Chains A and B, each alone.
Chain A
């Protein structure tokens, strides 16, 4: 399994396909490389070198007590980028992963070709995702798990407990929640400077949709597209989202 060492942590990545570099980032708590692997990633890999990364503390990356803020995770991303290959990278992120991509693009505009932000919540400290996740019933929480086999999740004690164990570990033994609460909002002035083309994809029933509308107004080269669904589009709308990304990133 490919691992990248950084600050004593092992970050787990998966690489698919060949072509211009494209990195996909998942959301916090229930996310992992599987978020995109079972949907858009194999399709985008037909025309890209796709790098899927487990954020620190998630999936098969090692446990990290701290460093879940956007600047820290954007530095993790910078450490992984060489694996995706030369040239400007297309960044695709869901939820907090989308905010990491946005933070990275603002810090390193020369390295980014295109941004795709799926359900990026603003301001970051609003914890929309987390609040809606924690207030959901266990069945709803499992439905949000980006699991190719989630249809059986309700019956699945082993899988359900493993996923919820990751959530419990992150919530109780790391600074993740504190890092989220402390995360400053993006300034309108910095958003207005973003030079790359940006695709904003939101669920039409998601509480994050106003964030997408704000980004669509502020970012100079942004387009907002809605899909039927809520916050967990990569799971809820795996096929539709994969087709949309393939159409926008491979066929144009």
Chain B
């Protein structure tokens, strides 16, 4: 992995974490550490409607290149329940890098 990719991924993680804190909108979320390993379900206890709001924010942030709902449509509910922040970061990074090449 080259340095540019690492930087890209780190920047995406920072953006996802920022949007997640906005969606949760509670004081504890300001200080909570959000890493690749953070689980939306177990660690953040994200409500389903908050997850929908996060998807919308991601879409607005990254644009049509990132089809978050389409990505979820190909996953089983059980997979979505187990989702960790890193998987979302990887998905976004993949979308961004493939659209750069195109």
Is B72 in contact with A42, judged by CB distance below 8 angstroms?
A: yes
Q: How far is the CA of A59 from the CA of B77 in the complex (A)?
A: 20
Chain A residues within 8 Å of B49, by CB? 32-34, 59-60
Q: How far is the CA of A208 from the CA of B73 in the complex (A)?
A: 29
Chain B residues within 8 Å of A41, by CB? 69
- Majority secondary structure, B binding face: helix
The 8 A CB mask of B51-75 against A (1 = contact, 0 = none) is: 1110010000000000001101100
Interface centre among A1, A149, A157 (most CB of B within 10 A): A149
Chain B interface size range = 20 to 34
Any chain B CB within 8 A of the CB of A64? no
Any chain A CB within 8 A of the CB of B46? yes
Q: Total A-B pairs in contact (CB under 8 Å)?
A: 80
Which residues B13-61 have CB closer than 8 A to chain A?
Answer: 40-42, 45-49, 51-53, 56
Any chain A CB within 8 A of the CB of B11? no
Interface centre among B42, B52, B70, B72 (most CB of A within 10 A): B52
Task: Identify which of B48, B53, B56 contacts A147 (C-beta below 8 A).
Answer: B48
The 8 A CB mask of A1-45 against B (1 = contact, 0 = none) is: 100000000000010110000000000000011100111011101
The 8 A CB mask of A34-65 against B (1 = contact, 0 = none) is: 10011101110110000000000001100000
Q: How far is the CA of A223 from the CA of B41 in the complex (A)?
A: 38
The 8 A CB mask of A150-181 against B (1 = contact, 0 = none) is: 11100111110011000000000000000000
Is B53 in contact with A162, judged by CB distance below 8 angstroms?
A: no
Is A38 in contact with B56, judged by CB distance below 8 angstroms?
A: no
Chain A interface size range = 20 to 34
Is A148 in contact with B69, judged by CB distance below 8 angstroms?
A: no
A167 → chain B closest CB, angstroms: 13
Task: Identify which of B41, B52, B56, B69 contacts A152 (C-beta below 8 A).
Answer: B41
Any chain A CB within 8 A of the CB of B3? no
Q: How far is the CA of A1 from the CA of B52 in the complex (A)?
A: 10
Chain B residues within 8 Å of A148, by CB? 48, 51, 77, 80-81
Chain B residues within 8 Å of A145, by CB? 48
Is A159 in contact with B45, judged by CB distance below 8 angstroms?
A: yes
Is A33 in contact with B70, judged by CB distance below 8 angstroms?
A: no
Is A1 in contact with B53, judged by CB distance below 8 angstroms?
A: yes
Chain B residues within 8 Å of A163, by CB? 47
B43 → chain A closest CB, angstroms: 10
Q: How far is the CA of A163 from the CA of B45 in the complex (A)?
A: 12
Q: How far is the CA of A152 from the CA of B83 in the complex (A)?
A: 13
Write the residues of chain B forming the contact surface with A, with a CB cutoff of 8 angstroms. 40-42, 45-49, 51-53, 56, 69-70, 72-73, 76-78, 80-81
